[in-house]
Structure 1
């Protein structure tokens, strides 16, 4: 075989491997998501890196994705130094991450999608945890909350809820300022909580929340109708 023919054959093999990897990543992502309207995956790697199962860089763009009931309007992901089970993938088996993958992500969630997420266990549980931390005595005496609506404004969010299985006409409204203290900590301040439009509790100092060591948030912005978040998160195998 001539040198030119050998080069063409190798290039064709690498293109096939790249295509197989791209489809494997898309399939893996779709197993994580219950819904996605648009999904793009771009792999940047040399021949040797692909054949060894090492991917220096992957770019992912997804629109209107749903993860465990959370509706995400748009997300852009940049991942580096990924190790995958290339041998098994080429045999038609699912993609498996071999090491922790740190990813950089930009996330946009519009108010409409955030309200669609209120039925998810992840968001409703998180909101109930916030309420318990802010008003532990109130929560110990009341029924769990059913969250009805979220409104996004400049640097703050307004939440409306009613107690579950409550025969009385009771409403709870929270107005929470949102501050990013550092990559792992959020502060909710100032806080105003109303029950049936009567002020129940307020605080200028608010309370802090630890997001854990697997995240490093660089930007968290609330503007009318939209939440924007940028940062790094570790994806564990």
Structure 2
């Protein structure tokens, strides 16, 4: 009996060590995917047999003030399941590597300050330019040269303040749009208004639809005053 208890304690201690090594390796891998993160917490749920075979059934990840490709995110809460990793290499001190594509479900919160800190990123500016090209082709004929001064988030509404270079003085344009999620990869803009220094130049209640692509799977999207909350699913490739 005593011998069996000792063997069980020894085995549990080994698994605890392996779990700690795996958690640290996962944190290092996550940090390598971003340029900045303030707080990072990882929770792993797996049996000893799972871990030793390189299989993680469930992982929860919480991170705050994350910067990914110059996109600033206030808070991220993610859950991933059925993960295959190179556990043999990890236990030898080598970097963690995914062996298969991993489906990830989670929530992302972006506050207004972080969103404004992201306007210089090519990822966000390109997305905004594409939207303006479609919605305001006459008011923003050269959206690639637009400077985004400020973004304001309100109840189901986004307000953009943009500056357009001219031969004399730059023109400041204010663009307001009411946005709602229509499907997992499509947004509906029910109202749009654009005005410059002289007044309103466009006001439309016609519905506009923005297709975000088949790779996007958004389950919930809500704009609050000063904050955006998004629930969705993504796939993380090896």
Structures share fold, TM-score greater than 0.5: yes
Aligned to 1:171, what secondary structure does the other structure show? strand
User: Match for residue 90 of structure 1?
Assistant: 91
User: Match for residue 52 of structure 2?
Assistant: 51
User: Match for residue 128 of structure 1?
Assistant: 129
- Cα 1:83/1:165, change in 2 over 3 Å: farther
User: Match for residue 158 of structure 1?
Assistant: 159
Unaligned runs of 5+ in 2: none
User: Match for residue 234 of structure 1?
Assistant: 235
User: Match for residue 68 of structure 2?
Assistant: 67
Aligned length in residues: 237
Aligned Cα root-mean-square deviation (Å): 1.8
What does 1:12-23 correspond to in 2, within 5 Å? Answer: 12-23=13-24
User: Match for residue 4 of structure 1?
Assistant: 5
- Cα 1:99/1:141, change in 2 over 3 Å: closer
- Cα 1:109/1:166, change in 2 over 3 Å: farther
- Cα 1:38/1:164, change in 2 over 3 Å: farther
Structure 1 residue 197 displacement after superposition: 4.5
Any idea what the Cα deviations from partners look like across 1:166-200, whole Å, max 9, x if unmatched?
Answer: 65131111101111001111122211122334323
Any idea what the Cα deviations from partners look like across 1:107-145, whole Å, max 9, x if unmatched?
Answer: 111111111111211111111111111123454456621
Which TM-score applies when normalising by structure 1?
A: 0.93
What does 1:129-144 correspond to in 2, within 5 Å? Answer: 129-140=130-141, 144=145
Structure 1 residue 203 displacement after superposition: 2.3
Which TM-score applies when normalising by structure 2?
A: 0.93
